[in-house]
Amino acid sequence: MDEAIKQIEKSNIDLEPEVMDAHSVRELLSRYAKAKKLVSYGETMLAAKLGDTAAVARTTGVSVGKAKAAVDTGNSLKSADEVRDAFRSGELSLDQASEIATAENASPGSSTELLKLAQDESFQTLREKSRKVVLEAEQHRGLAERQHEARRARSYRDDLGMIAINLLLEPHVGVPLVNRAETEAGRLFRAAKRDGNQEPFERHLADAYACLLSSTGSTAKACKPELVVLVSHEIAKRGWKEVQEGEMCKIPGVGPISVESAREIASDAFLTGLFYDGTDLRHFRRWTRNTPVEVLTALQLGEPPGFDGVKCTDCGRRFRNEKEHSEPHVAGGFASTGNLRWRCYGCHQNKTAEDRKEGKLTPPDPNAGRGPPGP
């Protein structure tokens, strides 16, 4: 261990990234990352053995919160052999190991798929999948009651004197508020853009929340439902009882909610039947730009049979996702699910810029394929 520390110290002394090319930087960065993963394993297992969060925080120089996370991860790894082995060999970071071990403890056997996912996908994608596994397992173990007890609100002032508000709300309560605010912020953003104001979307979102909280928001109708709850028909047929194996009662892209909450929402809601094993919408093609409402509703639920909602195909974010044509519609691309991708606003803008640079936004020549004009 002492020899390894000396070698890393020497590498740090010799490190001159300003004279390195991009390839060399990536190579050396990957080595530092591997070393960090190996060190994280030792820190985590020793922290769990010590068990004293305050002592761990002092020794490692991190916050008490991060020290507690290390202790908790070390304890959860004791019953997750496959995850522990991957972490020990440097295949996983501490954050990856923590997410996968938590999922494995909640749903034994889930780590095999998640370990493969960790090698191929971003951490955000792995975290989302791991937490989905945990929530679905906990749905039968009093999840709704714990969520209800966890609700809270607090406010504080920052260094600029700004008022920060932190809210923890149950999914079926928070999602409509978020959707309403984002719809209003979108309206404000578009109006400001027409007037030449290029302020970031987050500022308009802050204005939208302020309007909602002060009850002075726009009365404009949203173009999509504020809340979608997906409930297996069998649950309703049984009289809105428990969720059984293979069934779902959840908000797409968010997670499970209690059957009681879903029943209360359904008593005053528009009900739509979805038969995902019927017509395969991937074979649907349309040449006009608009998308039929029934197709749009199905698309926003996400891919069957999981129906986990939509996320950006590039970065995995679920914030401000927009439909985008892989082959631009203006150049003749179909308005079909096979040609549609969901991208967040930033990735959509980047894709559009790339298409424009490559000349893909030029309408097709109406005379292409025709012979020369007659005499």
pLDDT, one tens digit per residue, over 209-247 is 998 888 765 544 545 567 889 899 899 888 998 888 888
Residue 143 resides in a domain: no
Could you give the C-alpha distances from 321 to 183, 310, 313, 342, in angstroms and in order?
12, 8, 9, 6
Residue 162 resides in a domain: no
Helix (H, G, I), strand (E, B) or coil at 255: strand
Q: Total structural domains in the chain?
A: 3
Residue 95 burial (10 A CB sphere; 0-12, 13-18, 19+): middle
> Would you state the pLDDT for residue 325?
76
Same domain, 287 and 195: no
Same domain, 353 and 235: yes
Residue 314 resides in a domain: yes
The strands making up 249-251's β-sheet, listed across from edge to edge, are 230-231, 249-251, 255-256
d(CA 333, CA 335): 7
Residue 370 resides in a domain: no
d(CA 117, CA 104): 14
Lowest mean pLDDT among 64-78, 98-112, 135-149, 208-222: 208-222
> Would you state the pLDDT for residue 30?
95
- If you average pLDDT over residues 304-312, what whole number do you get? 81
Q: What's the pTM?
A: 0.70
- Is pLDDT above 70 for 364? no
d(CA 167, CA 151): 8
Residue 5 resides in a domain: no
Same domain, 195 and 208: yes
> Would you state the pLDDT for residue 131?
92
Helix (H, G, I), strand (E, B) or coil at 199: coil
Same domain, 77 and 32: yes
**Cα angle value 49/83/316 (rounded, 5°):** 120
- If you average pLDDT over residues 293-320, what whole number do you get? 77
Same domain, 194 and 247: no
